[in-house]
Amino acid sequence: MPSGLFAACVPFREHRLAVGDGHLLAVEESGSPDGIPVVFLHGGPGSCCSSEHRRFFDPARFRAVLFDQRGCGQSAPLGGLHANTTAHLLADIEQIRQTLGIERWLVFGGSWGSLLALAYARQHPAHVSGLILRGIFLGSADELQRYAQGLDQMAPEAWQRLAAGVPASERGHLLHAYTRRLLDNELAVRQSAARHWIDYERALMGEAPLTAVPDARQLAKTAVQAHYLAQSCFIDSAGLLADCSNFRHLPAIIVQGSDDPVCPPVAAERLHRAWPEAKLQIVPGGRHSALAPDMAAACIAALNTLADQITL
């Protein structure tokens, strides 16, 4: 298993699932048709699944369900914002489960996907066999402010470039300044804002800046992200934590990188205080990418730990 991941594989079944409001989701199943069902919730908002994400799952053990959320990746329409809220995404997850005839499944969500996983477990605890939550994001105003304003000083030079992308009068409220520009009617405004926004994220991830103007998929990604962030992710973060009591009986493992610059450990610690029964696993030196060898190994170990509990 290179880098701790399982060998590359292809789906054994693919679906184009109409979920209403003109949205068509790209859904795939990989691994074993008779394996332990697990749904993978990708990050973002606005990102998508990749073929590498299938490699978290032992193909002999799991029936892995991956899908691109509304407006994302291979789902259509690309960048579609109509009827695209957290409530819609939660309904989509449940429709996928019902369509595939799955009674209960493991829910594996990272970053934005961790918020979706928690919100789904709150609504449908009877259909969840366990949760793996990586790089916790709760959608709180504090998290959004710290990220946009670079308060953790994780990539100060990149943040300075982000701030320089808007007039000085707007630099105290970068989240508002950028979400407005990423949703602007003028293509040139959206492209400029998207390039600054993406380059900041890439710097936090240890990646080089873009070498070209953002393409259609990158513009769609940032538009969906801005749509959600401008609305506080369409969720009450405090209420989500308070409602952990509704599903705290479920087995859960929180995998958190100690040096995650995108979703710092403070959110994972808040979640663990609200849900002490969940196991908190801090990966020393771990950052944000779930595909990094240390984070991938921890996620795979967590999957196998919960799978062992299910099959006992």
Catalytic residue selected from 58, 68, 92, 260 = 260
Q: Omega into 264 within 30° of 0, i.e. cis?
A: no
For the residues of 193-220, what is the DSSP string, one character each? HHHHHHHHHHHHTT-PPPSS---HHHHH
Q: Give the dihedral of Cα atoms 23, 24, 30, 36; nearest 10 deg.
A: 50
- Pairwise CA distance, residues 256 & 197, whole Å: 24
* Secondary structure element (H or E) that encloses residue 265, with its range: helix 265-274
What single letter denotes the amino acid at residue 24? L
- Pairwise CA distance, residues 308 & 47, whole Å: 30
* Secondary structure element (H or E) that encloses residue 239, with its range: helix 237-242
Tell me, yes or no, if 111 is annotated catalytic.
yes
Angle at 229 between CA 24 and CA 219, to 5 degrees: 55
Catalytic residue selected from 111, 114, 192, 237 = 111
Q: Which residues of 47-57 are buried (b: 16+ CB within 10 A; e: fewer)?
A: bbbeeebbbbb
Cβ-based neighbours of 155, under 8 Å, separated by 6 or more: 200, 203, 204, 261
Residues designated as active site: 111, 260, 288
